[in-house]
Each structure stands twice: as C-alpha cells, then as structure tokens.
Amino acid sequence: MQRLSPALRQDNVPLDLIALIKTILAATKEISFRVSQGHLGGLLGSTLDENIQGEVQKKLDVVANELFKDILLESGFVKAISSEEEDTSVAGEEYGKYIVSFDPLDGSSNIDINSLIGTIFSIHKAPEGMDASDPDMFKQSGNKQVCAGYVLYGPSTMLVMTTGSGTHFYVLDRTHGGYLLVQRNVQIPADTQEFAINMSNQRFWQRPMQNYINDLIAGDTGPRGKNFNMRWIAAMVGDIHRVLCRGGIFTYPADSKKAEQPYKLRLMYEANPMSFLIEQAGGTAVTSEGRIMDIEPTSIHQRVEVIMGSKNEVEKCLSYYK
C-alpha cells in the first residue's frame, strides 16, 4: 500500500496541487475525529439556523464548514472557496493558484442516527485577472476540474479521489495518521441490477422516470426480464460509494414537488465532483438532457438533475426520455 504523496506523484500531479490536497485531507481527519466522538463531543442535533439552501444546519455542519474554511484560507494555495454552507464565495489569497468548492458534511440528516456521512470537494484552477472576491470565477464547467473526491466517514474513513488519471480508493490509517492507497483505477461494472432513488418522490417525477422505475420494480415479470434491488442511504457519498464498489445507478431526477426548485443536488460541489469520479471509473454521469460536466454554471449554488452509475444502465434510463 502506497502513501498518498507517492501515489499522487505516480499520476504526475503537480507538487502545489499535492500540497493543497494534503491540506484538504488534514481538515477531513479532524472532521473524522469529531464525527467518531458522536454524543461525547456535544455536536449532535441541529442549530437554530438555516444555510443559504434553506436547510436547517446541524451542529457538525457548522463545525465542518469552519474547519474547512479556516484551513484552506490559511494555506496560501487557495484564491477563493465556495461551500454549501456559505451565502457566496469567500476570498482567500489574491495570487492563489486554485479555487475549491466543497460540501463539508454531505448527508447531515444521517448524523443523529450514526449513519453514513461524508465530505465532497472539487478543485479548479483559479482564473487569472479576476479578483479573489468575485464569485464568477467559480463558473467553470466540471470538465475543468483538476481534482475531485470525497471522504466517507464510515466503519473506516475512506478517501475516493481522482486527478484525471483514474479513480482511486484510500483508507485513513490511524496508526500513523495518513491515507494509504488500497485500490487503484476502480472500475464500475457496465451492467447492474441495483438502483438508488428517493422513492418517496415518485408521484412528483416526470413520466419517463416513473416509467423507468416502474419497469425496474416489475423485475423478471416486466419488460427488463430481470430483478432489481433498491438501495437508498440518503447521503450521496454513501450511494455513490456503493456504485463505485459494485455498480448500480444513482439518480435524483427532476420533480414537481416545488415548482420553483425542480432539482435537489448542487452542481458545483456535489454533481460535478461525483461525475468526475464516476467517469474516471468507466461510468456515465448525465442529466436527462446531456453530460453533467459539460454544463456551464450560472451560480455557485446551481442545482441539477443527476443520473449516474453503470454505463449500460444509465443509457437504458436515458432511452425512456427519447
């Protein structure tokens, strides 16, 4: 098993990007410890505040966001950050080379039941000639990511990351405090019999998605001619990790529950980084209208439809929209 730095050098990752990645991971180690303390740390439960998304913040949401923000802005590598928990971007070092988008604690509704949660991050190069306080620098497509990953706080703390040379798995070794490479170039099976979707929204989906899921549920008695299992962790990091480990399709489709907000997941710090990881593992990541990483963002909190996972199953799902 390789340590992090040699593994990244093997993929020809620039030294300054390696340093930034290690800075991000320093924050995740602290978050991992706080999560593992649970009730003992006094950080369970909700605050009295909502974030910019209109969602009630958990105490650990706030702590994780502050940890990330402080360590990144103090590093000197980062020109600006954007976070799910911040109203707009936050300026860093004026001459920083990179910008970082992150969801400090994905799946925070799982915190109080001691279930899977994680941190998602995405790194772009900072555009030249733009002020560090200008949020427009984050309006870059996912194609331009130089690194993306997530850290899953489960029975073991796992890092899943790509710098454009495959998707790799790392595990935090608590004996020496570093991440060790445990699987290089993860590949998602092209076919699957497993799907992940929030079934409680079924009546609000568009007709193509309703028809697709109904055919999966019909199993070997329906047009697909085989049985499917449904899995739903309610944390994107957990559901995507399962897809990367054994295949599957994960989708959060458009719905009509809130006419003004048809999409759930955020492009910059959820859909784009996960799409990068999925594609680097041989999977497909799209909306019903096209590839996610081709989308030109209009705001740092933009939401999108998500359909990603095993290549052949994603293509089958898309066929229902034609």
Measuring CA to CA, which residue among 160, 172, 318 is closest to residue 245?
Answer: 160
Per cent of the chain over pLDDT 70 is 94
**AA letter at 272:** N
Place of tokens 């740390």: 41
The pLDDT of residue 40 is above 70: no
Chain-centroid distance of CA 15 in Å reads: 24
The DSSP string of 76-143 is SSEEEEEETTSSS-EE--TT-SEEEEEEEEETGGGGGGT--EEEEEEEEEPPTTS-TT-GGGG---GG
The pLDDT of residue 50 is above 70: no
The pLDDT of residue 280 is above 60: yes
* 59 against 58, higher pLDDT: 59
**Residue 48 pLDDT class (50, 70, 90 cuts):** very low
Model pLDDT for residues 95-136, shown as the tens digit of each residue: 999 999 999 999 988 888 889 999 999 999 999 999 999 999
- Average pLDDT, stretch 194-212? 98
Average pLDDT, the chain: 94
| Residues with Cβ within 8 Å of residue 87, at least 6 apart in sequence | 52
List phi, psi (to 5°) of 171: -125, 140
- Average pLDDT, stretch 63-71? 94
Contact in structure between 143 and 291 (CB atoms under 8 Å): no
Could you count the other beta carbons within 10 Å of the beta carbon of residue 37?
A: 13
SS3 assignment, position 40: helix
Per cent of the chain over pLDDT 90 is 87
The pLDDT of residue 308 is above 80: yes
Contact in structure between 88 and 94 (CB atoms under 8 Å): no
Residue 112 class from Cβ within 10 Å (0-12 exposed, 13-18 middle, 19+ buried)? middle
Give the pLDDT score at 227: 98
